Structure formats: structure tokens, C-alpha cells
Amino acid sequence: MRITFIIVRVLLGILFLFASVSVLLNLIPPPPLTGKVKLFNEGLAAAGYFIPFLKVLELICAISLISGFYLRLFAIVLFPISVHIFLFHAFLDASAMPVAIFVLLANIFVIYHYRESYLPMLKAR
């Protein structure tokens, strides 16, 4: 189980590392967007700060996943991003749905691996 955990978290980290670095450094031109996806992305880009902030956060989480430092924290930080990726592909662009499912399930797997660490936060006082 430990080897599976390491493989899943490193793959998830590599995926987020590639996604964040390619956007932050403009390594890959964005694909042409149409319809609701274009409208959605234009809305996010209109804020000016959101996409760079999101990609820097993804980069920090990716480094944590690959290196193994602060995993318990950044697995939780990454969870809303993973849910958003899944919902985006479920409702707006199903073309990359297998990747979105992997991202969500891998993030849940990493959180589940550290479930004992989160239990004290969930206890009523």
C-alpha cells in the first residue's frame, strides 16, 4: 500500500506541476475555446489575479506532493481545486473527464491515507 501511495501522490504532483508551470511560463498555447468554456475562462481571466494565484497554489501543492513535505496540509488545500476540476469537466467540457476523475480520486486517496491526522480536527469539544 505504501508503494501505491507514493506512486499516486507523485503522479498527481507531476500532473499539477506540468499544468501549473505550462500556464505560468506560457509554454503551451491555450487551446481555442468555445461556448460556455470560453465564457467561463473569460470570467476567471477578467479578475486578473485568479488564474496566476490558482496556478501558483497548484505549483506549491505539486512540489509538496512530489517531495513529500507538508503532505497533510497541501492534500487538503488541493481538495477544492480537485473538486472544481472534476465539476468543470463534468458540466462544461467532458473531453478530459478521465484525467479529472483521476485527479479527484488521487486527491481523495492521499487524504484517506492521512485520515488519522485529520481526526482531531473533527472531534467536538
pTM: 0.92
H helices present in 25-125, as ranges: 35-46, 50-67, 71-91, 97-113, 115-122
Task: Give me the half-sphere count of Cα atoms (radius 13 Å) on the Cβ side of residue 75.
Answer: 25
Gap between the Cα atoms of 80 and 76, Å rounded: 8
pLDDT in tens, 15-38: 999 999 999 999 998 888 888 999
Alpha-carbon distance 94 to 113, whole Å? 29
Q: What is the pLDDT of residues 61-71, one digit of tens each?
A: 999 999 999 99
